[in-house]
Amino acid sequence: MDKLLIRGGGPLSGEIRVSGSKNAALPILAATLLSSEPVRVSNLPHLHDITTMIALLRSMGTELLVDEKLCVEINGATTKQTTAPYELVKTMRASILVLGPLLAHFGRARVSFPGGCAIGSRPVDQHLRGLEAMGAQIDVDEGYITATCPNGRLKGAHILFDMVTVGGTENVLMAACLAEGRTVLENAAREPEIIDLANCLIAMGAKISGHGSATITIDGVEKLGGCSYSVMPDRIEAGTYLVAAAATRGNIKLRDIDPNTLDAVLVKLEEAGAKIEHGEDWISLDMEGRRPKAVSFKTVPYPGFPTDMQAQFTAMNAVAEGVAKVSETIFENRLIQTHEMNRMGANISVDGNTALITGTERLKGAPVMASDLRASASLVIAGLVADGETLVDRIYHIDRGYECIEEKFLSLGADIRRVSS
């Protein structure tokens, strides 16, 4: 199993390009199942989760053509069977995103029930309720969700989500594109990845309005066609490098990023003392050698502070000046990385879903274990601000979400190396 060996040192400094967004790419790849013609998707990040989604499409017999830049042309109409097997779903919960498209296009779908994961139980009841409201019949048996369309085609419906769910909004939005009549989604997620998915569906011929707001209206069409679509930049990858630069008192310039998708993160970085500048597709951050100041926040759905950036900010707070209070409201078990940080000399106490972080000047290198994707990124940041060596174990988590992580950190001047045990 690979590990990352980091020797903490001076400030990060340099320029990197931000990769395509994993969380936008996954639903967009699933959405190609809705189309009756080939859809070409570009700017896909080369990550395990993307490979898993491609493997899942291939396992269903869907024809696809991959080129050396990881542009993928997918012909959803060639799909031969509509089962997403346990072996693939267990490695990636986002496999559930094929449920809505398969059901809407082919009238049936069988998807292994995704289990819980390190950060919480993560149910999919809102996905299923939304599809049922459109006339789907859903049975859960032997660990599989079986969905069928007794009336041949889904019917538009008025759906109010009980909570803001990104995946639930995406699944039902995709299904509604081929349903008969109008669907209105209320309390929909407003994340930029939802907007990117909707824009891709519109390029395929879907009729969607209101995406990016809490009410999305979809007028179903009989068929969707082909298109070429370039996935949006990854705001969480971008945020992770910005925080790494801030924690190390460094400076960084990010290219190919939409600064508008990072509002809450940039506000908090400025509060930490960073000087931030941005243009249409770039952001620069400069700490001018200063130690960051502690920043408190609560994770909430977009446009508030993202749960996917909580762990990285916790690492920065561990070496910041002052005391920060961080509350995690989206997932039940997402402060686990704090225990590993304490082993590196951090001073973090956790009470329920709130962490109280008292900053120390520097951490001490130690062997640590990654428990989930963003937690592993936070341990890398902790390693960068620690004296001595930090060995981050179980980095398969990090390979699910960060393209070329060693190369990007190396180009920023970090001392980081992948070692296999």
Which of the residues are catalytic? Answer: 117
Count residues near ligand UD1 (CB under 6 A): 19
Spatial distance between the Cα atoms of 177 and 173, rounded to a whole number of angstroms = 7
Query: Hey, which residues does 39 pair with through a beta bridge?
Result: 74, 227
- Residue whose CB is less far from ligand UD1, 36 or 51: 51
Span of 99-107, 158-166, 195-203, 337-345 interacting with ligand UD1 by CB under 6 A: 158-166
Nearest to 151 by CA among 166, 138, 136, 162: 136
- Residue whose CB is less far from ligand UD1, 145 or 204: 145
171 binds ligand UD1 (CB under 6 A): no
Look at the block and give the residue holding tokens 């601000």: 385
39-78 footprint of ligand UD1 as x/- string (CB under 6 A): ----------------------------------------
Q: Tell me the H-state helices in 122-219.
A: 125-133, 166-176, 192-203
- According to DSSP, the β-strands at 158-160 and 182-186 are parallel
307 binds ligand UD1 (CB under 6 A): yes
Span of 67-75, 125-133, 260-268, 386-394 interacting with ligand UD1 by CB under 6 A: 125-133
- Residue whose CB is less far from ligand UD1, 101 or 292: 101
30 binds ligand UD1 (CB under 6 A): no
Look at the block and give the residue holding tokens 């879907």: 206
163 binds ligand UD1 (CB under 6 A): yes
167 binds ligand UD1 (CB under 6 A): yes
CB of 99 to ligand UD1, least distance (A): 11
Spatial distance between the Cα atoms of 378 and 383, rounded to a whole number of angstroms = 9
419 binds ligand UD1 (CB under 6 A): no
Q: Which residues contact 42 (CB under 8 A, 6 or more apart)?
A: 20, 69, 71, 228, 229, 230, 231
127-146 footprint of ligand UD1 as x/- string (CB under 6 A): x-------------------
Look at the block and give the residue holding tokens 């179980």: 394
Q: Which residues contact 375 (CB under 8 A, 6 or more apart)?
A: 118, 311, 334, 336, 337, 340, 397
| Interface ranges with ligand UD1 (CB under 6 A) | 23, 26, 94, 120, 122-127, 163, 165-168, 307-308, 330-331
